[in-house]
Amino acid sequence: MSSYLEATARERLALFDSFEEFIGPAQRVVSPHLGQLNAPVSFDDGVVVGRARLDGLTVFAAAQEGGFMGGAVGEVHGAKLVGLLRRAVLERPAAVLLLLETGGVRLHEANAGLIAVSEVMRAVLDVRAAGIPVVILIGGSNGAFGGMGIVARCANTLVISEEGRLAMSGPEVIETANGVEEFDSRDRALVWRTTGGKHRYLMGDVQRIVEDSIPAFRQAALDAIGEARGGTVELTLAGLEAEQAMLEQRIERFGKLRDPADIWGAIGISTPQDIPMLDIDSFTAAAAPHRLGA
């Protein structure tokens, strides 16, 4: 299968040359909470973690399964991610790749899931502090939302496809909390313009955008690892201050605009209405002079 969007978590592992799974389904490590609620369980709890080879490099990788509870994080799911990251600090692979597809934390085990996400966030920063780059790949139909959306922004590099989405709160959550006037979750075009890969790339939230294919994500991952290893891997105060300054400038420039297309026009794109229709090569060429943080 070539499409990253349509692939399962295990099919996406085809971007690696080989993969050795830690805590596989045969070990049947499942959520202790779902069974008590008579909810279905998965023998890998919706995430695959392990050691892989990528073009001669040893890397650690995790792939979330969007088909199981939307890739949502629970106690075991989160513990597997944390364990992988902590083991990375000890074994020092060339990089850690997280193939995210998640709606956030499971409501079924919300407290445990929230704690798990905070532990994942800390572990990501520990990996970076050890000089090991963390690369996030986002291209599944569920995107990367909630706490894992925050985790994604803690990484060195984010790679996304046009079909991928990244945000803190999902459209339905925003509409429920603030009303349809704030955000109409049924307006699918608006949802994609707001959370989709092209907008995130233009805003500087992600570093690379690729076409929807497993080979394209593979090459982007390799490029990201090489680029990260050639620079500063750990999170620095200067990096945080630069990020904060960028966010303040975004609020000042675009805070009163209601639609991402208005923002695209404000940053200098002459025909913002054409952006959704452009293929990736044409889009990146059009975006190059205007993309924030480039």
Query: Residue 167 phi/psi, 5° resolution?
Result: -170, 165
DSSP character string of 135-187: EEEE-STT-B-THHHHHHTTSSEEEEETT-BB-SS-HHHHHHHH-TTT--TT-
Sheet holding 57-64, edge to edge: 18-22, 47-54, 57-64, 95-100, 134-138, 157-161, 208-210
149 half-sphere exposure, CB direction, 13 A CA radius: 19
CA distances to 50, 82, 84, 87, 248 from 138, rounded to whole Å, are: 18, 19, 19, 23, 25
Q: From the CB of residue 39, how many other CB atoms can be counted at a distance below 10 Å?
A: 13
pTM above 0.95, yes or no: no
Q: Residue 21 forms beta bridges with which residues? A: 50
pLDDT values of the chain reduced to their tens digit, one per residue, 294 residues: 699 999 999 999 999 999 999 988 888 888 888 877 778 888 998 999 999 999 999 999 999 999 999 999 999 999 999 999 999 999 999 999 999 999 989 888 888 889 999 999 999 999 999 999 999 999 999 999 999 999 999 999 999 999 999 999 888 888 888 888 888 889 889 999 999 999 999 999 999 999 999 999 999 999 999 998 878 899 999 989 989 998 999 999 999 998 999 999 999 999 999 999 999 999 999 999 999 876
Give the pLDDT of residue 160.
Answer: 98
Give the pLDDT of residue 20.
Answer: 97
Give the pLDDT of residue 153.
Answer: 94
Give the pLDDT of residue 1.
Answer: 61
Architecture per CATH, domain 9-166+206-233, reads as Alpha-Beta Complex (3.90)
